[in-house]
Structure 1
């Protein structure tokens, strides 16, 4: 996935989930945050960020959108819309083992009362994929979620139901940086989500985690990471 018209800035503050104040070329701008999660460990005053210049888009209230931020020397993508595109592009280019040579790929497909991120078909196999973007990291360990997610629990349970009816179900955690070497569930933050994922896995739902290659202008799928779903 590639961004156009990327500029550099310095983060100042975040008054609410949707906007931030960023210093760009010596001027303070009110910008859009493309992620409603907390990101408290990332969006620290003075940190360097990259933004997409959207000033030419009609009807926008803000001229820029924050897409990535440096955590120490590691660039972290925080665009919540990016993971679905990254995974879809990787699937279309046969970059993920076990998901090759499909005949159909659709995004945002409804099943039951949920809308899953990706639906695939190949031969007689039908696959629902739920994608989760991960930005939380500590000492080489990535974790999800960074805030309670009732919607996430609902989707996991629906995916478990789809598997019971003969579909293949996958929860795909995309860690949006290259630093981590392990993925875990954040039991302390959201035990209900962690329990739902573990139960779903025991019922046949697959759980995968990959890191990402991130530059100011691009984000692509990286390598597969080991997973530990148990409490820690």
Structure 2
């Protein structure tokens, strides 16, 4: 996933989930934030952030905030890219658990949910749900950074798919490099953690991959240990 344009700025404040104020070329600019999560650990005053410039003249904001430096670590926080990154990774054969996929489709309905991906191999058919991970503490990647009723619902729906004979995968895309392992953030959302544990017990495969991140690009990295 490559961005056509990327420019660095300095984060000032975030008055609500959708916009932030940044300092760009010594001018205060209001920008769109492409992540409605908390991101409080990342969006701290003075941090260097990366903006994507829009070519849509009708937009209210000229730029979107897509990444942030946490010290020397660059973290992509664009919640719209994980599905594309994992989709491309599977197509390129870089997800070892799904290297033999012959059919891959996006946004497929099952029951009361719409899963991110549907796949087929010679032996099985199944669904994949992708979750972007931007929260890191002491080298540990965690999800979610805020309670997610929708995410919990998807897990229970994935269990139903497995019980109906489909294969089920949840892929956590860690939008950075260098983490030690991944785990659900139980304190932040105990219900999601409970649902993830149940899903794993029922046969849903839980995977985590990190990402290769630059200021204008994010691609699938390598597998990360999952500890539920």
The normalised TM-score by structure 2 is: 0.98
Counterpart residue number, 2:196: 197
- Aligned pairs, how many? 228
What is residue 115 of structure 1 aligned with on the other side?
A: 114
- The equivalent residue for 1:158 is 157
Q: Deviations over 1:123-173 (max 9, x none)?
A: 241120000100111111111111001101100000000000010000100
What is the aligned partner in structure 2 of residue 141 from structure 1? 140
1:198, 1:98 → 2: CA distance? 20
Cα distance in 2 between the residues matched to 1:100 and 1:134: 23
Q: CA deviation at 1:42?
A: 0.1
Question: Is the aligned partner of 1:41 residue 2:41?
Answer: yes
- Taking the TM superposition and a 5 Å limit, the aligned residue runs for 1:31-180 are 31-54=31-54, 56-180=55-179
Give, in whole Å, the separation in 2 of the partners of 1:109 and 1:197.
21
* Cα RMSD (Å): 0.9
Distance 1:223 1:185 in 2: 19
Structure 1 stretches of at least 4 aligned residues deviating more than 2 Å after TM superposition: none
Q: Which residue of 2 aligns with 1:7?
A: 7
Runs of 5+ consecutive residues of structure 2 not aligned to the other structure:
none
How far apart are the structure 1 equivalents of 2:60 and 2:107? 26
Work out the CA distance in 1 between the residues paired with 2:167 and 2:57. 41
Matches of 1:224 and 1:100, distance apart in 2? 13
Distance in 1, matches of 2:57 and 2:94, equals: 35
Which whole-Å CA distance do the structure 2 matches of 1:186 and 1:70 have between them?
22
**TM-score, normalized by length of structure 1?**
0.96
Deviations 1:169-205 (A, max 9, x none): 0010011010211111111011110000000110000
Structure 1's unaligned 5+ residue stretches are none
